[in-house]
Amino acid sequence: MNYKPLFFLILINTFFISEISFAQEKVFTIDEAIETALQNNRDIIIALKNVEKSEAAVDEAFGYALPSVDLSASFSHFLKKPKTPFPDFGALLNNATYSVLFDENVIPRDDDKFKPVGFSLQSFAQTNSYESSIQVTQTLFNSAVFRGIGASQIYLNLSREDLKRVASETVLNVKKTFYGTLLSKQLFEITSASYGNAQENLENVKALFNQGLVSEFDALQAEVQVENIRPTVFQMENNLKDVKNKLKILLGINQQEDIDVSGDLLYTKETVPDQEDLIAASIKNNYSVKTLETKIQVDDAFIDLDRSEYWPSLYAFGNYTYAGSADKWTFQNYSSSIIGITFKMNLFMGGQTKNRVEQSQISLQQTGEQLLQLKDFVSSEVKNKVNEVIRVQTILEAQERNVELAEKAYKISVARYNEGTGNQLEIQNADIALRQAKINRLQSVYNYIIAKAELDDLLGNNSFNFFEDED
């Protein structure tokens, strides 16, 4: 049987499947990851919705200062007319007529002609009636309305500052997770390389053992070394999968999608600015500090808003009414119109306004204390991150040298063993030392990058533009 066509078919299918799998995997650089998170991250979407809500609140506040136009209409039909006790019109008319005749001496006076005046139930309503009216009301003075407009605008500014704070935190979290993914990826590669070294060593030992040049003990040691590293490789692989899933959450993409990261954990020594200058910059530009500073403005505006209840309100109004009524369907129509001014001022509400103002003042004081506390925290964190950057800088150069020495030691141990002057324990120790030196260096580079990212977040250096009116 000729297997060549079947072999080529399998090869072609394998090629296309691998191409499709590769096309489905999205590879992110750090800039692409940040851009994706700023578009898709759910915390940012929630903060953006809050900004939209605040913008609608500003429009609503302006609406209270605009004229209010109300249109109403009604129609009613009596199934049974209401009646009211009323003097007897017949008796009144009779008595009035005879009284005139007697007074004018038209006829001789006869008091028997007068009838007693009683009461009878009479209806003055017509069966059908309708009324339609339109009323326009304009606020001439209302402190709460005008204060509310200013307060809503400040609240909008607060929501915008909070959006920047959330975005900056998201950028920091993306950097941490992205570089954490790179770290896990390279740790997996280091462990895999160490596993490959152990397998290569095992193959060499087996070859020497088959030739009778090494003992069975050496062969068993080499095999144990391979099996000791294998679980670590699996653990590193699982760690890489876990951190990728966390990155997907931050980026706001489906957990079923395959992603990878592109980049390197690189160390570039930089001059650290003066600590006091960094603290001053953080107090000025930190997004959380700006958010609380705007919150103080909001609290102050709400105090003015509560105080506005002490002030009177003045409204102008105009009303036009068109109505009609009839027992049948031939209506008698009429219209009326009126204009006027309404004055309203509360004289006593049981101290409610006073207590509301007091509560708002306490909220302002609480926010002020929170701001002072936050500034102290930011200052402390800036100092910590600067010290961390300097600390990592001092040890990274030594770790670079340590990796070079560990690589050299591993090569020497392998060569000594192949020459018959070394043993498996030397190779194992050299491999462990090399792996640990690389891991330590990578971990320090990661710590350096993250410390700088956290410092950027504290300094408000993460840049993004969500609003058209911003530069």
Task: Choose one of 76, 92, 122: the last residue of a domain.
Answer: 122
9 assigned to some structural domain: no
Element (H, E) at 62: helix 42-63
Cβ pair 229, 196 in contact under 8 A = no
| Residues 196 and 99 grouped into a single domain | no
| Residues 164 and 220 grouped into a single domain | yes
Q: What is the pLDDT of residues 173-187, one digit of tens each?
A: 999 999 999 989 988
Q: d(Cα 459, Cα 449) in Å, to the nearest integer?
A: 15
Q: d(Cα 368, Cα 358) in Å, to the nearest integer?
A: 15
| Residues 165 and 98 grouped into a single domain | no
Q: d(Cα 256, Cα 258) in Å, to the nearest integer?
A: 7
Q: Residue 45: phi, psi to the nearest 5?
A: -60, -40
| Residues 373 and 263 grouped into a single domain | yes
Q: d(Cα 21, Cα 24) in Å, to the nearest integer?
A: 5
Give, in order, the Cα–Cα distances in Å from 372 to each of 133, 168, 172, 368, 379.
Answer: 57, 21, 24, 6, 11
Residue 398 confidence (pLDDT): 84
Q: d(Cα 148, Cα 133) in Å, to the nearest integer?
A: 30
pLDDT band at 4 (very low <50, low <70, confident <90, very high): very low
| Residues 112 and 42 grouped into a single domain | no
| Residues 95 and 188 grouped into a single domain | no
Both tokens of 305, joined, read 């808003």
| Residues 117 and 53 grouped into a single domain | no
Nearest to 173 by CA among 37, 53, 328, 60: 37
Half-sphere exposure of 214 (CA within 13 A, CB side): 25
20 assigned to some structural domain: no
Q: What is the pLDDT of residues 313-354, one digit of tens each?
A: 999 999 999 999 998 888 899 999 999 999 998 888 888 888
| Residues 168 and 233 grouped into a single domain | yes
| Residues 300 and 447 grouped into a single domain | yes
326 assigned to some structural domain: no
Number of H helices, E strands in the chain: 10, 8
Residue span of the structural domain in which 103 resides: 84-122
Q: Cα–chain-centroid distance for residue 434? A: 45
Q: Cα–chain-centroid distance for residue 426? A: 56
287 assigned to some structural domain: yes
Could you report how far apart the first and last alpha carbons of the chain are, in Å? 74
| Residues 100 and 220 grouped into a single domain | no
Q: d(Cα 29, Cα 22) in Å, to the nearest integer?
A: 16
Cβ neighbours of 96 (radius 10 Å): 11
333 assigned to some structural domain: no
Nearest to 185 by CA among 404, 393, 28, 403: 28
CATH at residue 392: 1.20.1600.10
10 assigned to some structural domain: no
Both tokens of 215, joined, read 């003992």
213 assigned to some structural domain: yes
pLDDT band at 24 (very low <50, low <70, confident <90, very high): low
pLDDT band at 172 (very low <50, low <70, confident <90, very high): very high
283 assigned to some structural domain: yes
Domain count, the chain: 2
Mean pLDDT of 73-88: 87
Task: Identify residue 179 by its one-letter amino acid code.
Answer: Y
Helix axis angle for 42-63 and 143-210, nearest 10°, is: 170
| Residues 95 and 30 grouped into a single domain | no
Q: What is the pLDDT of residues 382-418, one digit of tens each?
A: 999 999 988 888 888 788 888 888 888 888 888 887 7
pLDDT cut 90: percent of the chain above it: 41
Longest CA–CA span in the chain (Å) reads 167
Compute the mean pLDDT over every residue in the chain, rounded to the nearest whole number.
85
Both tokens of 6, joined, read 């079947």
Q: What is the CA radius of gyration of the chain?
A: 44
Bigger pLDDT: 238 vs 427: 238
| Residues 60 and 182 grouped into a single domain | yes
Q: d(Cα 22, Cα 440) in Å, to the nearest integer?
A: 32
pLDDT band at 457 (very low <50, low <70, confident <90, very high): very high
